[in-house]
Amino acid sequence: MDDLTPLTNFQQLADSTKRTPKKMTERQPLLLQSDASDYEGNRSLARPPVRSSPPDSTLVNVQSEDSIAVHAAGAGDDDEQSSQAGDNIAKYNPTQHRTVEHPTSNFDTMVHLLKGNIGTGILAMPDAFKNAGLYVGLFGTLIMGAICTHCMHMLVNCSHELCQRLQQPSLDFQNVAFCSFETGPLALRRYSHLAKRVISTFLFITQIGFCCVYFLFVALNIKNVMDHYFFLDVRIYLLLLLLPMVLLNLVRNLKYLTPVSLVASVLTVAGLAISFSYMLHDLPDVNTVKPVATWSTLPLYFGTAIYAFEGIGVVLPLENNMRTPEDFGGRTGVLNTGMVIVACLYTSVGFFGYLKYGEDVKGSITLNLPQGDILSQLVRISMAVAIFLSYTLQFYVPVNMVEPFVRSQFDTTRAKDLAGTILRTVLVTFTFILAAVIPNLGSIISLVGAVSSSALALIAPPIIEIITMYNVGYGRYNWILWKDIAIFLFGIAGFVFGTWASLAQILNPNVD
């Protein structure tokens, strides 16, 4: 996720009033039911502040007097109050209560969506096809893209439902999980804070994993260029990159990184275009590669493919920051259009890359380009520079999840700044150590995808939808419930087997 859009702190939900209505409408906030008979005595829905999600130079300022949960309308008949509260919720449109300082157009949102999904994962797709086989990879990637896109729609729809239920303008990923549990079945409400922490933890792991992959990707591409002149171990290049990486990530103001992001985007597009020209030149026959791989390598394919569809964290910030958020969903909306482009790009790079280089394909397609060709050397250098510059945007997310807590432990501004600097240095060094310990790019991409990306993209959305729709209904024959269970089981299977296969390959790199 090279570029994500943050949200500023929204207003907290007010504590619910103590009352016991006689009846409630289907979509009325469950926080109105918080009496002693419900759950551990009078529980209130005090939502923690929404932390800034992933980075962008654009900030969102959402403030609304309607961002408070429904209160009692004073003394009177409970039935009438309940009916009136339900009517108010049914009329509440979250998108009309957002105050966005710099809203994005549909085109801007499309660019951010593409940028948030297209990173190092697309260059690893030929390696994924090697683990799946040509035709399994072809159809599997398209199916995976459809499932991931549907899960993104699920997350957006649940966010809208919860915003309407709680009368909040917008929510981020973590607080969608929190509010779904907090307003769901009574037995699950005690786990609302745990759900928020779990999502935050996997977001942190995902971003740290991306940083590790970026670190290793830059070192491997520089090494591949320099091996034409002299040979050094990849860990030497990682060590040489450590200091400039630390210095770059001491920049705290994203405003100064906007030109950096633009340069990285231009270099990425140029590198992909030239890589395609190499892949499409003198393509061999399809019979030269495996149509179907073995069962033992399919989990590795899953991990790499789900890593590539890395944009689940960018979906809600982008939709929340749009000038016309109603254009985000729908059959021909921004989300579907963008993800169709992403899925086609992934499939094309994987299909033609594997067909071109066969079983010799490496963890990044740039490493397969002719070593002595000047143009291919420029591709490696441009992609290495682009990913190096994009590291800071990836690093922004985990460091801003931890830094506020670290800074709060100190009193003076000087001590806070020093603690923040040390934290950034330690985290960058940590990603360096991980990259040095696991110098196999394909294995670490598959591991990050299987562990964290599958949890966020395939496991969390169906759980959130099941709990959110508990009070609304699952449709005819409970089809929403069965669909979510199927996606959940698919995600769990990929998580377990993908993690196992990736760890096995890391621990035994010479065993196919």
Instruction: Considering only the C-alpha atoms of the chain, give the largest distance between any 2 of them, rounded to a whole number of Å.
Output: 85
Q: What one-letter code names the amino acid at 242?
A: L
Q: Which residue bears the tokens 């037995």?
A: 187
**Residue 268 CB neighbours (<10 A):** 24
Locate the DSSP E strands across 33-148.
none
CA distance 512 to 509: 8
Question: What pLDDT was estimated at residue 101?
Answer: 76
Q: Is 364 within 8 Å of 439 (Cβ atoms)?
A: no
Q: Which residue bears the tokens 């982008």?
A: 318
Looking at residue 104, the DSSP 8-state letter turns out to be B
The C-alpha angle 354, 356, 362, rounded to 5 degrees, equals 50
Listed in sequence order, the residues at least 6 apart from 257 whose beta carbon sits closer than 8 Å to its beta carbon are 57, 251, 392, 393
Domain coordinates of the chain in residue numbers? 47-62+93-507
The pLDDT tens digits of the residues spanning 120-179 come to: 788 889 999 999 999 999 999 999 999 999 999 999 999 999 999 888 888 888 999 999
Q: Is 60 left (phi over 0), alpha (psi -120 to 50) or beta?
A: beta
Q: Is 430 within 8 Å of 496 (Cβ atoms)?
A: no
**Residue 282 CB neighbours (<10 A):** 7
CA distance 242 to 484: 43
CA distance 340 to 346: 10
Q: Which residue bears the tokens 């959110």?
A: 468
Question: What pLDDT was estimated at residue 322?
Answer: 86
> Which residues are registered as beta bridge partners of 322?
104
Listed in sequence order, the residues at least 6 apart from 360 whose beta carbon sits closer than 8 Å to its beta carbon are 368
Computed from CA positions of residues 383, 454, 309, 249, in that sequence, does the dihedral angle turn out positive or negative? negative
Number of Cα atoms under 13 Å in the Cβ half of residue 267: 21
Looking at residue 194, the DSSP 8-state letter turns out to be H
Structure-token pair, residue 501 = 């296969």
| 270 three-class SS | helix
Question: What pLDDT was estimated at residue 365?
Answer: 87
Question: What pLDDT was estimated at residue 317?
Answer: 83
Question: What pLDDT was estimated at residue 87?
Answer: 53
Question: What pLDDT was estimated at residue 256?
Answer: 67
Give the length of the chain. 512
The segments of the chain whose pLDDT lies below 70 read 1-90, 253-258, 509-512
Instruction: Choose which CATH entry (1.20.1440.230, 3.40.50.620, 1.20.58.220, 1.20.1740.10) describes domain 47-62+93-507.
Output: 1.20.1740.10
Question: What pLDDT was estimated at residue 7?
Answer: 40
CA distance 48 to 398: 18
Structure-token pair, residue 447 = 């591991």
Question: What pLDDT was estimated at residue 169?
Answer: 87
